Amino acid sequence: MTNILTVRDLHIQARHKHGTTEIVKGIDLDLKPGEVLGLVGESGAGKSTLGLAAMGYTRDGCRISSGSIRFRDQELVGASASTLRHLHGNSIAYVAQSAAASFNPSHRLIDQFTEAPLEHGVRSRKQAEADAIQLYREMQLPNPEEIGFRYPYQVSGGQLQRAMTAMAMSCKPDLIIFDEPTTALDVTTQIEVLAAIRKVVKEHNTAAIYITHDLAVVSQMADRIMVLRDGHMVETAPTEEMLANPKEDYTKSLWAVRTLHRETRPRPEKTPLLAIDKVTAHYGEFKALDSISFDILPQRTVAVVGESGSGKSTLAKVITGLLPHSPGGEIRWQGEALPPRLQDRDKTILRDVQMIYQMPDTALNPRHRVRDVVGRPLTFYLGLHGAEKEERLRSLMEQIELDPDIYLNRRITELSGGQKQRIGIARALAAEPRFIICDEVTSALDQLVAEGILKLLLKLQEKYGLTYMFITHDLATVEAIADDVVVMQHGKIVEQGTRDEVFSPPHPDYSARLLASVPEMDPHWLDRVLAEQKIDLLENN
Amino acid sequence: MLRFFKTTPPTALLGLFIILSVAIMGVFAPFLAPYGETEVVGAAYMPWDSVHLLGTDNLGRDMLSRVIYGARNTVGLALLTTAIAFTVGATLGIYAALKGGWVDQVVSRAVDVLMAVPPLILALMLLAIVGPSIPNMVLVIAVIYVAPVFRLARASSMNIVVLDFVQAARLRGEGNLWLISREILPNITSTLVAEFGLRFCFVFLFIAALSFLGLGIQPPTADWGSMVKENATLITFGDITPLIPAAAIAVLTIGINFVVDWMLHKASGLKD
């Protein structure tokens, strides 16, 4: 069978201030019609660049320096803009990571759907709209006849991602590039999107390149997996073979990330460090937290788990005092009631409770240097100056495993995501706190980097006897780090207990669904889960 | 330094040159001007010659000297006024964004009221109440220009205050002063600086306009706006002398705009 896409010795360069850097270094790739290829790697591995190059497109500042990209028998390297324009959307389509950011918010979904078929002249408006409804139905969107007439902000994230896939299918392309289409979604939503994408791709016999850093996801979707690192191909093999028997060390290390596991520690009989007692909180009229009660014991890690909208981040806001809770409940710190409002709390409490954020890019002021960020709590809480402060700064940098000589004077903008997250940890540590709230601290990071951060947090916990509250939707993280687990949904606690209690059956419905939705590195996992859900549905009806 | 000349667009260089020249003219006016600011050196409306390069004005004062001194007065006052408007407007704007709620509502609505009245009419009215003097004029114009600066500072801070690092600073227990000056201000500086250039032009034209109407800088102080007014009759005789201060206003305005465009372009991060 002839290839639909053939890439030979592809080199792509990126231009910057000091010259050029090669970001794709000689990659060969073959894709047969109807085949789904998974591209896996950390950020910076060049997977998105390669994915875009498969369309004959490079980002601003990048250029294809040598090599060939053939789509069927057409050379895309050096092809004219009009040739490419004819192919894009028509024969090759692209599904972006964030559908919410990729749709034009001021046009209805169906108008954006029909744009490409009309532009390429392959469909009349009527036909294109009929196609849209058909595809919306295939993508299992609710109300396929109507949903197209809504605006992007009127549908949920998971639905948008499916609408976007439908849009990519609008001209019946031969090749679709999926660039991390489910990364921004909750696990429970992700499952629906994955199932829908896989079904449509299979039924239309479309070839696809599926880019992701999540191995479990790619093993559901791809026929074959290619692992990239620093612009090189590490290895490629059919999915089953790749999962069962990775050959290269790097691939093995990627595979091993999901196996970090904390020893079960006995629950000590101590007074809780932080007790949350019937706490309710509102955003205006909306009840975001509904009578939440649980204890956080000293030197333990409590994981708060739930989908977005379940109230986990609100809980962090309430504990820190950013959002005062409604009268009635109480938060007790070592047995004493905390004032609900941040302004009324004294400095020792502020110092004891620190926070690490989800997005390292926004958690640190881009105008500051590392020295300013980490040094401020030292001056503010501990009154350190001069040589004393310098010494503390250096020892903190060593704690977070960054060389003080190199990094202390760097600007925040000169750091990578993982390094920024480490600086965030240093800032929290600088206050010498007793309790740290970690708000999805690893979800914006690659798996290998995330593992490093988790290990660091565990090490620091041992060393300083810290207590953590870990907000996450990733159950692999819970497995890796938590002692106790609290499962939340719609602002209420669904289940709580030690990790082993929560992870072993019987589960309340919601916990069961959440646990079942976490992708596993088994190529048959999705089929199995979908089959189980179908049975559930049949039984319920 | 050479690199700077190579990488900076020629329009920006020209703009910088103009601004620099005017600044030097203003600072060293007593040394550069051939005659005193208010010194009567000849008959009224003398034509251009080698002694009085630009002739004399309606009272027989040297025109060139007055244009040079005018840079000091008009530009200096405009700078002062803009600086006051920015200090007050930016502080209020960031504060309103930071506090939100009723603080934001009260200040924003007050500013809306200020913006609802056309600036020139408002200025004329206020000056009629407090009386035309230089300090009064500076304050009145500053108050008027607090409004747009406030709007801009508030809008750009709104994007910053929601970021986690501001929340982190709040949780640390930092005071408003730190939040405004260390966390937020550095992130909106480029926007504010560009706006400063533009607003400076407006203020400067505003002062010239008020002076032309007789409510701004009072005679005998040399000022580009009032110089146009004082010598306006010459136009009817086909003499372009009154256009010289007007041209000075125009050239400086264009120069500043060149520089501001360049800074905005740099701040936006767009590549050519």
Question: By C-alpha distance, which of A472, A461, A471, A462 is closest to A435?
Answer: A461
Is residue B193, in this structure, part of any structural domain at all? yes
- Taking CB atoms and an 8 Å cutoff, what residues of chain B touch A357? 164, 167-168
Asked if A47 contacts A226 with a C-beta cutoff of 8 angstroms, the reply is no
Same domain, A79 and A144: yes
- Do residues A251 and A281 both lie within one domain? no
Which residues span the domain enclosing A493?
A: 274-504
- The partner residues of A470 in beta bridges, in order of sequence, read A303, A438
Distance from the Cα of B185 to chain A's closest Cα (Å) equals 10
pLDDT at residue B226 greater than cutoff 90: no
Whether residue A17 has pLDDT greater than 80: no
Structural domain contains residue B125: yes
Smallest Cα distance from B71 to chain A, Å: 36
Q: Is residue A269 part of a domain?
A: no
**What is the arithmetic mean of pLDDT over A202-224?**
87
Contact A342 B174 (CB under 8 A): no
Same domain, A246 and A305: no
Residues A164 and A224 in one domain: yes
CB contact under 8 A, A367 and B174: no
Q: Which domain holds residue B105?
A: 50-268
Question: What mean pLDDT comes out for the span A115-142?
Answer: 87
Give the span between the Cα atoms of A235 and A254, in whole angstroms.
Answer: 13
Answer whether residue B38 is part of any domain.
no
Please tell me whether residues A300 and A197 are part of one structural domain. no
Tell me what percent of the residues of chain A surpass a pLDDT of 70: 97
- Predicted local confidence at residue A541, as pLDDT: 46
Of B168, B170, B172, the CB nearest to A363: B168
Same domain, A241 and A321: no
The pLDDT assigned to B94 comes to 95
> Over the stretch A303-355, which tens digit does the pLDDT of each residue have?
998 877 788 888 998 999 888 988 888 999 988 888 988 888 988 899 999 99
Band (A535; pLDDT cuts 50, 70, 90): low
Q: How far apart are the C-alpha atoms of A226 and A47, rounded to whole Å?
A: 10
Distance separating alpha carbons of residues A265 and A461, to the nearest angstrom:
13
Mean pLDDT estimate for chain A: 85
Task: Tell whether A153 is covered by a domain.
Answer: yes
Q: How confident is the model at residue A304, as a pLDDT?
A: 92
In this prediction, residue A522 has a pLDDT band, given cuts at 50, 70 and 90, of confident
* 3-state secondary structure (DSSP) of residue B23: helix
Q: Which residue has the tokens 């010194």?
A: B39
Shortest distance, CA A367 to any CA of chain B (angstroms): 6
Looking at the structure, do residues A182 and A78 belong to the same domain, yes or no?
yes
In a domain, A451, yes or no: yes
Per-residue pLDDT, A259: 65
The shortest CB-CB distance from B164 to any of A345, A350, A363 is to A363
Please report, for residues A94, A162, A424, the alpha-carbon distance to residue A481 in angstroms, rounded to integers and kept in the order given.
Answer: 37, 33, 18
Contact B171 A355 (CB under 8 A): yes
Determine the pLDDT at residue B184: 93
In whole angstroms, what is the distance from residue B224 CA to residue B72 CA?
10
Distance CA A298, CA A270 (A): 8
Mark yes or no for CB contact A377/B172 under 8 Å.
Answer: yes
Whole-angstrom distance, CA of residue B192 vs CA of residue A9: 48
Q: With an 8 Å Cβ cutoff, are A380 and B174 in contact?
A: yes
Residue A68: how many CA atoms within 13 Å on its side-chain side?
Answer: 10
Q: What is the mean pLDDT of residues A451-458?
A: 88
pLDDT at site A540: 52
Biggest CA pair distance of chain A: 75
B41 part of a folded domain: no
pLDDT-based confidence at residue A468 (cuts at 50, 70, 90): very high
Q: What is the CATH number of the domain that holds B132?
A: 1.10.3720.10
Collapsing DSSP to helix, strand or coil, A280 comes out as strand
Of A515 and A9, which is predicted with more confidence? Answer: A9
pLDDT value at B111 more than 90: yes
Q: Which band of pLDDT confidence, cut at 50, 70 and 90, is reported for residue A537?
A: low
Res B272 pLDDT > 50: no
Task: Decide if B171 and A60 are in contact by the 8 Å CB cutoff.
Answer: no
- Taking 90 as the threshold, does the pLDDT of residue B157 lie above it? yes
Average pLDDT over residues B106-127: 92
Q: Which residue has the tokens 């910057």?
A: A16
Q: Are residues A292 and A218 in the same domain?
A: no
For A487, list phi and psi in degrees, rounded to 5.
Answer: -100, 125
The answer to the question of residue A70 being in a domain is yes
With 60 as the cut, is the pLDDT of residue A539 above it?
no
Q: Is residue A525 one of the residues assigned to a domain?
A: no
Burial of A266 (0-12, 13-18, 19+ CB in 10 A): exposed
Q: At what angle do helices A525-540 and A187-203 cross, to 10 degrees?
A: 100
Q: What is the pLDDT of residue A140?
A: 80
> Is the domain of A92 the same as that of A217?
yes
Contact A50, A39 (CB under 8 A): yes
For the range A195-201, what are the long-range contacts, defined as Cβ-Cβ under 8 Å and sequence gap of 24 or more?
A195/A140, A195/A526, A195/A530, A196/A138, A196/A139, A196/A140, A196/A162, A196/A165, A197/A139, A197/A162, A197/A165, A197/A221, A198/A526, A199/A138, A200/A135, A200/A138, A200/A139, A200/A165, A200/A166, A200/A169, A201/A36, A201/A176
Q: Which residues of A touch B167 (CB under 8 A)?
A: 322, 357
Question: For B232-249, what is the mean pLDDT?
Answer: 85
- Compute the nearest-CA separation of B256 from chain A (Å): 26
pLDDT band at B251 (very low <50, low <70, confident <90, very high): very high
For chain A, how many structural domains are there in total?
2
User: Residue A13: which CATH number?
Assistant: 3.40.50.300
pLDDT, average across residues B184-204: 87
Nearest by Cα to A488 from A276, A242, A199: A276
B38–chain A nearest CA distance, Å: 49
ipTM of predicted assembly, 2 dp: 0.77
Q: What percent of chain A has pLDDT over 90?
A: 17
**Per the domain annotation, does A284 fall within a domain?**
yes
Question: Residue A438: enclosing H or E segment and its boundaries?
Answer: strand A435-439
* Among the ranges given (A43-52, A131-140, A163-172, A322-331), the one the predictor scored with the smallest mean pLDDT: A43-52
Beta-carbon separation of B165 and A60 below 8 A? no
| Over residues B216-239, mean pLDDT | 82
Token pair for residue B120?
A: 């020139």
Confidence (pLDDT) at A447: 75
Domain count, chain B: 1
Which amino acid is residue A368, in one-letter code?
A: H
For residue B8, the model assigns a pLDDT of: 82
- With CB atoms and an 8 Å threshold, state whether A362 touches B164: yes
Is residue A340, in this structure, part of any structural domain at all?
A: yes
Q: In chain A, which residue's Cα lies nearest the Cα of B165?
A: A363
Above 80 in pLDDT, residue B1? no
* Model pTM score: 0.78
The H-assigned helical ranges of chain B are: 2-7, 10-27, 29-32, 63-70, 76-99, 101-116, 119-130, 134-161, 164-172, 176-178, 185-213, 224-230, 243-268
Q: What is the mean pLDDT of residues A28-47?
A: 85
Q: Which of A226-230, A252-256, A351-355 has the highest mean pLDDT?
A: A351-355
What confidence category does residue A536 fall into, taking pLDDT thresholds of 50, 70 and 90? low
Secondary structure (DSSP) of A35-59: -EEEEE--TTSSHHHHHHHTTT---
Q: Which of A181-185, A296-300, A499-503, A528-532 has the highest mean pLDDT?
A: A296-300
Domain boundary among A225, A256, A287: A256
- Provide residues of B within 8 Å CB-CB of chain A: 163-165, 167-168, 170-174, 182-183, 186-187, 271
Above 80 in pLDDT, residue A506? no
Q: Other CB atoms closer than 10 Å to residue A247's CB: what's the count? A: 13
Asked whether the predicted pLDDT for residue B103 surpasses 90, the reply is: yes
Residue B11 domain-assigned (yes or no): no
Question: Contact A283/A313 with Cβ under 8 angstroms?
Answer: no
Same domain, A343 and A237: no
Angstrom distance (rounded) from CA B267 to CA B272:
13
